[in-house]
Amino acid sequence: MPERRGVTRRDFLKGAAAAVAGPYLIAPSALAVSGRPAPSDRIVMGCIGVGGMGTGDMRDFLGNADVQIVAACDIDGRRRQVAKKGLEQHYAAQLAKGTYKGCATYNDFRELLAREDIDAVSIATPDHWHCLLGIAAAEAGKDMYIEKPLSLTIAEGRALSDAVKRYGRVFQHGTQQRSEGNFRFACELALNERIGKLHTIKVGSPASGEAGVEPPMPVPKDFDYDMWLGPAPWAPYTEKRCRTPHWYFISDYTIGFVSGWGVHHVDIAQWGNGTQLTTPIEIEGRGVFPKDGLCDTATAWRVECKYANGVKMIYADNKKERQGVRFEGTKGWVWVKRGEIDAQPKSLLTSVIGPNEVHLYESKNHRRNFLDCVKTRKQTIAPVEVAHRSTTICHLTQIALLTQRKLEWDPGRELFVNDPEANRYISRAMRSPWHL
Amino acid sequence: MNSVSEVTAAEKERPLGPDEALKQIATYNYGQSRKSLIVVTHLVRDSYDDAERRKELRKGFIALLRSDATTDCKRFVCKQLSIIGAAKEAPALANLLTEEKLSHMARFALEQIPGSAADAALRDSLRKAKGKLLIGVINSLGVRRDPGAVGALSELVTGQEEAVSGAAAAALGKIGDAEAAGALAKAGAKASPKLRAIIIDARLRCAERLLADGKKGRAARIYRALSAQAKTDHVRAAARRGLKAARGPNRTRQE
């Protein structure tokens, strides 16, 4: 058994009084056999939302020896059981034992967050739940990894950012492109003016899809539909409403791929423009929306934004602008997407950022970066205010598409200028009892 | 002469006028085509600079809310009123606050309508709404940061129903004026552990608001009290950070 230190990492995180293991933690000696850190030095995690994306995040966290996942929460009973089985099989294999019983399941996230033994949560639900869950996690003193996009509305994002700062929580946004070298390098080329003075950024993203008119259906057994709807307006159950990919395209739960996919590249544009704590000040554009059916978010769009630093950003679906982010300067350009980078002049691609130039925060693994920051209490590569600002640009895009007029935005006050009607899109009333 | 199919196709493409569009949506139910609803959303959007058209649309929407149109139609209408509703529409929306199926969407509109009429509509319904609907109304008053609601919310925060008390505490925290801060301080002493946690968060929010309004001394008093009372590290740390901010960069001693 590894030697027990006087003050463990978990003591450090939570304070001695709070570092009492809950009933679901296994005996401290049990898992030390595999060469992993002792349980008291592991980050104890719970996963909220264990569908496709949430399961992917959970698997990635499981791959870290200093993580112990003790709980899975989902409003779908089948998913809860699949997650529990997967976790217990994983830990049983590590212990070289036939069985392991150490994963609790919850339908209601509040029960998971009430557990004092949990240090951090991974949140991967539909978008309309992200901020409510994040705020509840902050209030419960948990650190959090939240899938993108951050919010359903600008007001939600602001409330979450304030709550994370209020309680001093470590936060990571699931914009994992920041942890890929090509994206960081492209941003460093732009920030160091290797392409001359940056004047234009072009961003291309996949667009939303459509579905036909869908009839109401009976709610499946062991699926808590009322909890799935949460703060969203009531609507009858129909399968596509709650399943991937269609919920991604219904405006009661998301603003579509304008944020659901696009925030990845918008976030990179912000990074390379050096504007990650602000947003553009003007936006105008047009979009195409489904003419009927269940889905109602933009299937095509193009907006132009202007930043206070004079840079123009064009944000469009990837039929109008090439997928990825292209920084254009007075002497060249650099374009980047997942797994690919190109530039003009080509020599930029093999150039080295010098010691006296701007070097951006470096992370080689997005979830690992979160875990390291949970331990060190340092800021992550995608902290909450940065996440809020990147997601706000997606919301500004959506509002410009809905209003079809040129909008002026005050990033300081987070209000549209001289357009009270546009300001009505900043927040949405939540279904009771939910509130920010 | 055109064939029947050509005439039908042409008719289908003919843009609907407001009266016709509003008539069509009156029978809408979820699971049906949304084409007529989409026409109405376009009428709302395109009337931005047309005061007369807006007036006409609002009048039509209120008529629908007062008619035997379907519940789903009324939900849709509330959503449109969240964009173009004005004080005149507040009473009709207020009538829906006590209706189980429409209360949320009435708030969806009322939360966005500027001015005192919407505040008054929500405040008046504090006496009429029950259970979850009451909680929703309280939440909306918090979002609107209505100082006129502080008195009523202060009574609710010490009431018998814990869920209602919690909502009232959270709303007071969002309103965040000195009166709300006082009510929260009093309520905390007698609260259950669950309610106390909500009150603590509300007091932190209140202090942030007071700080933003330049009332540093008042904010510092809240932070100091919470720093002493906190039972968890993250709350204690939050209070200490707040206290530091309230004291300002050059202050090293307590105010």
Tally C-beta pairs within 8 A across A and B: 105
pLDDT in tens, B63-89: 999 999 999 999 999 999 999 999 999
User: Is B38 in contact with A233 (Cβ distance < 8 A)?
Assistant: no
Per-residue b/e over A390-411, b at no fewer than 16 CB within 10 Å? bbbbbbbbbbbbbbeeebbbeb
Using an 8 Å Cβ cutoff, are B164 and B135 in contact? Answer: yes
Contact A162 B208 (CB under 8 A): yes
Are the CB atoms for A377 and A141 separated by under 8 Å?
no
Q: A405: which chain B residues are within 8 Å (Cβ-Cβ)?
A: 48
Residue with tokens 């300001």, as numbered in its chain: A423
Average pLDDT over residues A180-205: 98
Predicted confidence at residue B33, as pLDDT, reads 95
pLDDT over 60 at A26, yes or no: no
List chain B residues with CB under 8 Å of A434.
139
Asked if A239 reaches chain B (Cβ–Cβ under 8 Å), the answer is: no
DSSP annotation string for A225-291: HHHHHTTSPP----HHHHSTTGGGG-TTT--THHHHTHHHHHHHHHHHHT-TTS--SEEEEEEE--S
* Dihedral sign (CA B132, B138, B139, B144): positive
Interchain pair B111, A427: CB under 8 A: yes
Q: How confident is the model at residue B18 (pLDDT cuts 50, 70, 90)?
A: confident
Q: What is the pLDDT of residue A11?
A: 54
Contacts of A213 in chain B (CB under 8 A): 31-34
- Least-confidence region, from A19-23, A253-257, A304-308, B122-126: A19-23
Q: What is the pLDDT of residue A57?
A: 97
Query: CB distance from B251 to chain A under 8 Å?
Result: no
What is the rounded CA–CA span in Å between residue A363 and residue A378? Answer: 13
Between CA A363 and CA B29 the distance in angstroms is 50
Record the pTM: 0.93
Give contacts of A296 with chain B, Cβ < 8 Å.
Answer: 34
- For residue A238, list chain B residues with Cβ-Cβ distance below 8 A: 31
Residue B248, number of CB atoms within 10 A of its CB: 10
pLDDT at A428 > cutoff 80: yes
Q: What is the pLDDT of residue A8?
A: 55
Q: By C-alpha distance, which of A380, A319, A315 is closest to A143?
A: A380
Flag if B31 and A236 touch (Cβ within 8 Å): yes
User: Secondary structure of A25-91 in the HEC alphabet?
Assistant: CCCCCCCHHHCCCCHHHCEEEEEECCCHHHHHHHHHHHCCCCEEEEEEECCEHHHHHHHHHHHHHHH
Determine contact: B201 vs chain A, CB below 8 A: yes
Partnered with residue B25 across adjacent β-strands are none
Q: Cβ–Cβ of A234/B101 closer than 8 Å?
A: yes
Q: What's the token pair of residue B157?
A: 């925060």
Strands A198-205 and A312-317: parallel
User: Tokens 């809950």 identify what position?
Assistant: A22
B34:A293 CB<8 A:
yes
For the segment A180-208, the average pLDDT, to the nearest whole number, is: 98
Which pLDDT value is given to residue A367? 98
- The answer, yes or no, to whether residue A391 has pLDDT greater than 60, is yes
Rounded Cα gap, residues B36 and B29, in angstroms:
12
- To test the contact with chain B by mutation, choose from A166, A399, A406 the residue with the greatest count of B C-beta atoms within 10 A, namely A166
The pLDDT score that the predictor gives to residue A163 is 98
Residue B80 forms contact with A (CB below 8 Å): no
pLDDT at A15: 40
For residue A1, what pLDDT band results from cuts at 50, 70 and 90? very low
The whole-number pLDDT of residue A24 equals 32
Q: Indicate whether B9 pLDDT > 80.
A: no
pLDDT greater than 90 at residue B19: no
In this predicted structure, the answer to whether residue B216 has a pLDDT above a threshold of 50 is yes
- The count of residues in chain A is 436
Asked if A141 lies within 8 A of B233 by C-beta distance, the reply is: yes
pLDDT band at A188 (very low <50, low <70, confident <90, very high): very high
Element (H or E) spanning A416, and its range? strand A415-416
Distance (Å, rounded) from C-alpha B247 to C-alpha B118?
Answer: 38
Note the pLDDT tens digit of each residue in B38-51.
999 999 999 999 99
Find out whether A389 and A277 touch, Cβ atoms under 8 Å. Answer: yes
Buried b (16+ CB within 10 A) or exposed e, A110-145: eebbebbbbbbbbbbbbbbbbbbbbbbbbbbbbbbb
Average the pLDDT over each of A28-42, A285-299, B147-161, B162-176 and give the range with the smallest value.
A28-42
Give pLDDT tens digits for A101-154. 989 999 999 999 999 999 999 999 999 999 999 999 999 999 999 999 999 999
DSSP letter at B154 equals H
Which residues of chain A are within 8 Å of residue B170 when distances are taken between CB atoms? 435
pLDDT of residue B251 exceeding 60 = no
- Within 15-44 of A, beta carbons closer than 8 Å to B belong to 15, 17-18
Looking at beta carbons, which residues of chain A come within 8 Å of B104? Answer: 233-234, 429, 431-432
Confidence band of A29 (pLDDT split at 50, 70, 90): very low
Query: Taking residues A345-349, what's their average pLDDT?
Result: 98
Residue A382 above 80 pLDDT? yes
> In this complex, which of A168, A216, A420 lies closest to B234 when CB atoms are compared?
A168
CA gap A255, A327 in Å, rounded: 26
- Asked if B118 and B144 count as a contact pair (C-beta separation under 8 A), the reply is yes
Among the partner residues A168, A233, A292, nearest to B35 by beta-carbon distance: A292
- Percent of chain A at pLDDT > 90 equals 89
Q: Please judge whether B34 and A420 are an interchain contact, meaning their C-beta atoms are less than 8 angstroms apart.
A: no
pLDDT in tens, A4-18: 334 455 555 554 333
Chain-chain contact of A402 with B238 (C-beta, under 8 angstroms): no
Residue A342 corresponds to which tokens in the numbers above? 């190109």
- A431 and B136: CB-CB below 8 Å? yes
- Tens of pLDDT, residues B159-199: 999 999 999 999 999 999 999 999 999 998 889 999 999 99
Mean pLDDT calculated for residue range A10-32? 38
Spell out which residues of chain A touch residue B110, defining contact as CB-CB under 8 Å.
Answer: 429
Instruction: Identify the residue among B89, B93, B112 best suited for mutation to test binding to A, counting A beta carbons within 10 A and taking the highest.
Output: B112
In this prediction, residue B12 has a pLDDT band, given cuts at 50, 70 and 90, of low
- Quick one: CA dihedral A211, A212, A215, A217, positive or negative? negative
Give dist(CA B165, CA B161) in Å, integer. Answer: 6
